[in-house]
Structure 1
């Protein structure tokens, strides 16, 4: 499966002691791109467990939908040739 992730930041997030979870004593970094507290994991990855291999998904407004293909600006400009 593939997931489209849109990021807006232009720099790194530096971790400091306040980022450590008092209850768990660790920091979990998001790898799915869906966390509301990105770059930290908030458990949002649980929504991805039933994604099908070979399918591309977009998550918007809390909803998941499948997309047939992704067209980039470069692909669109090549189509005019």
Structure 2
């Protein structure tokens, strides 16, 4: 599966000890839906039923927003 995400920042975010969870780890969002970016807030749970090879768009890049299919990812051999 793939997702179209709109990014508005133009630079990196510095992470430090205050970003660590109770387990001493820092979890960085990879789904693009976290309200706490660059940190994970569990929004990826909305993506569990996405299908491989399909591109999705969530309204306003929000895990609670309407999800729609916007395309398909072509196989590399095509």
TM-score (norm 2): 0.77
Q: 1:44-70 CA deviation, whole Å, 9 max, x = no partner?
A: 11111100122110011422111137x
Task: Name the CA distance, whole Å, in 1 between partners of 2:32 and 2:4.
Answer: 8
Task: Name the CA distance, whole Å, in 2 between partners of 1:14 and 1:49.
Answer: 29
Structure of higher CA gyration radius: 1
Q: What is residue 79 of structure 1 aligned with on the other side?
A: none
SS at match of 2:58: strand
Gaps of 5+ in 2: 73-78
When the two chains are superposed, the root-mean-square deviation of aligned CA atoms in Å is 1.4
User: Structure 1 residue 25: deviation in Å?
Assistant: 2.1
Verify: 1:26 aligned to 2:17, yes or no: no
Q: 1:3-49 CA deviation, whole Å, 9 max, x = no partner?
A: 0011110010001121112x232210011111110110011111111
Bigger helix share: 1
Q: What is residue 2 of structure 1 aligned with on the other side?
A: 2
SS at match of 1:25: coil
